[in-house]
Structure 1
Amino acid sequence: MFGYVNTDKSLPKEKRGLWQAFMCSLCFSTKEIFGNFPRMLITNDVNFFNVLFHGILQIDVQTEKTRCVSSPVVKRTVIKRDELSDKLAAANVILSYWNVYDDVVDGGSAKKKIALALMHKAYQKAQKQWSELDEQVKEQYQRLRRTEQSQCKVIDEVCHSFATLSQTFCRLTLAEKSSEYAETLCYNVGKWIYLIDALDDLEKDVKQKNYNPFAACMDISCAADAQKHEAEIRFLMYAVLNRIAQSYNDLNLVKYTCLTDNVLLHSIRQRTEQVMSKITQTEKKNGL
């Protein structure tokens, strides 16, 4: 379900370097605390929260030039690990573990099962470090599974668990510095992630007869059905995107906004259009 939140190509090269520098801080934190393998699990989604939370907390990051496994010859500018990046490294391990676990329960591939086994040691350590987050993530994934298994036909109800997971992640990370605006933003980012993943998988899910909220809530079973509901789907997606933009603007951030602006006001809208285009492209097919 991860992989949709990222910067887009319109981000200037020097700003893309800042995004990468934030990613490096997560990578160094992960290596120091959990070892090398979990570094492979770092997602752009969690890096977005890394940038966002540093901005909300108005943390002045420190940089240095260093070599690493991805740049062994040329020194690159990285952001030094700090307390927040350490915290988010633990969060990334927990979120990745439960995401892969969910895939395995769904009948995931042998690769997923191997990955889950390899993650277990790091997960146990992260679980001890941040047990409250782990409990909340586990609870919301279990609630989501129950909702999907019931073939729920109310789309807001289906989205609620993953949206709440994102909101709770925000609240636990920011603690007393959390706010209604920040939590509303993260709730809707989580909702968008769930919906865009479901929309992206619509064709595959219908073919394989897997649960999909769009198929269940709109009785979509073929290409013609999806096309009939294109306007409804677009309205739903942009309602969430507009709530994201409103909550984000209400935060009035001043730090690292070149990155958060790009992600929240441009990139996820562009990604939505890319996935939406799959519906119109099905006109050339006989069915989903």
Structure 2
Amino acid sequence: MFGYIVVNKPELKFKEFDIYQSYYCGLCQTLRNQYGLKAQVSLNFDMTFLAMLLSLLYDVPTKKVHERCVIHPMKKHDKLLNDCIDYAAKMTIVLAYYKCQDDWMDERKPVKQIYKKMISSPYLKIKEEYPKKIKVIEENLQKINAYEKENYDHIDDLAGCFGRVMGEICTYQDDIFYDDLYEMGFYLGKFIYLLDAYDDIEEDIKKKTFNPFIKDYQQPDFDERCHALLEMMIARSANAFECLPITENVEILRNILYSGVWSKYELRKMKRSEDKK
């Protein structure tokens, strides 16, 4: 369930995209510095959003470096480093660990088990640092797996589990921002789960694997009903986001929440429409 919380690049100014990229590169650098090259494989745009959101909200001391890297050897570029980006890197490892575990259970691909073992040491250290948070994440991901094995397709319960996962991930500290961050993350998590199911429906039908939308897929208003559900979830997430006192570079975050998150939905809907023709 990665890759949905992205920017709508054509709608950003060049300067805005450079700022967003500096968080992405900072997260990449942090993963390498803290956990080695193996951790960089887990880099994703979803946690870049979290890194930027928390950095701007908490206004933490931030170091900017301007340098080349292995991926971009020809040109120097900015990287931002701070405590919030460190936290986002830790949550990246946690999500990658459970993604490998889930993929191994579903598809039995050895590469997933190998990568899980490669990042198990940093994951266990993070688990020691955030025992309550990891416990909630673990319990809800296990509940999703149990529901799927039982072919339990109550969409709100399933999406709610991943909502609680993202709610925990988005809450950085137990402070005045906790409730708004949790609500934003909760509905963002539900949106991600629903969009992932919508995105995978044809493949899941072909492979005969679980998808909560299988019963509804043949309905003539399937796309419209899914869009309504997704719109409801992201609207609740955005409402909570707007309660946070972020002013600097807030338009980049709004670009992601109001536009970027719909990118894969629009691509899938377009492809589905073309296939039907």
Instruction: Specify if TM > 0.5.
Output: yes
Paired residue for 1:185? 184
Residue aligned with 2:73, SS: strand
Deviations 1:48-79 (A, max 9, x none): 11111112223353322123222334322211
Gaps of 5+ in 2: none
| Change in 2 beyond 3 A, CA 1:112/1:165 | same
Could you tell me which of 262, 265, 273 is aligned with 1:280? Answer: 273
* 1:180 maps to amino acid: D
The Cα of 1:228 is off from its aligned counterpart by 3.8
- The answer for the alignment partner of 1:43 in structure 2 is 44
Partner of 2:105: 105
CA distance, structure 1, for counterparts of residue 268 and residue 242 of structure 2: 25
The equivalent residue for 1:207 is 206
Q: State whether residues 166 and 190 of structure 1, in contact with CA within 8 Å, keep that contact through their aligned partners in structure 2.
A: yes
Number of matched residues?
276
The reply to whether residue 168 of structure 1 matches residue 168 of structure 2 is yes
Q: Distance in 2 between matches of 1:152 and 1:185?
A: 26
8 Å contact from structure 1 (residues 241, 269) kept in 2 = no
Greater displacement, 19-28 / 198-207: 19-28
- Taking a change above 3 Å as real, the CA distance of residues 156 and 248 of structure 1, as seen in their structure-2 partners, is same
Write out aligned runs for 1:181-260 (5 A). 181-216=180-215, 218=216, 220=217, 225-260=218-253
CA distance in 1, matches of 2:271, 2:221: 13
Q: CA deviation at 1:206?
A: 1.1
3-state SS of the aligned residue for 2:174? helix
CA distance in 1 between counterparts of 2:115 and 2:211 reads 25
**Closer, same or farther: CA 243–4 of 1 in aligned 2, 3 Å:** same
Amino acid aligned to 1:231: E
User: Is contact 2:61-2:82 (8 Å) kept?
Assistant: no
- Once residues 73 and 8 of structure 1 are traced to their aligned partners in structure 2, the CA distance between those partners, rounded to angstroms, is 26
Q: 1:166-223 CA deviation, whole Å, 9 max, x = no partner?
A: 011223x13214343222111111111111111110001111111111114x3x3xxx
The Cα of 1:101 is off from its aligned counterpart by: 0.7
Q: Retained in 1: the 8 A contact 2:183–2:240?
A: yes
User: What is the TM-score with the length of structure 1 in the denominator?
Assistant: 0.88
The one-letter amino acid paired with 1:215 is I
Report the AA paired with residue 243 of structure 1: R
Preserved CA contact (<8 Å) 1:34 1:125: no
Return the alpha-carbon distance in structure 2 between the equivalents of residues 192 and 274 of structure 1.
16
Matching residue of 1:69: 70
Aligned-CA RMSD value:
2.0
Tell whether the 8 Å contact from 2:180 to 2:241 is kept in structure 1 after alignment: yes
- What is the TM-score normalised by the length of structure 2? 0.91
Q: Is the 8 A contact 1:34 1:122 kept in 2?
A: yes
- The 2-side partners of 1:132 and 1:169 are apart by 11
Does the Cα contact within 8 Å between 1:230 and 1:279 map onto a contact in 2?
no
**Distance change >3 Å, CA 233–CA 71, structure 1 → 2:** closer
Partners of 1:227 and 1:279 within 8 A in 2: no
Instruction: Give 1:226 shift.
Output: 4.6
2:57 touches 2:245 (CA, 8 Å); kept in 1? no
Distance 2:88 2:224 in 1: 37
Change (3 A) 1:71 1:139: same
- Summarize deviations over 1:122-159 as a string: whole Å, max 9, x none: 32333333333322221111011112222223211110
How much identity, in percent, do the aligned residues show?
Answer: 22
SS of the residue corresponding to residue 77 of structure 1 reads strand
3-state SS of the aligned residue for 1:20? helix
Q: Does 1:29 align with 2:30?
A: yes
Name the CA distance, whole Å, in 2 between partners of 1:115 and 1:227: 41
Letter in 2 for 1:275: R
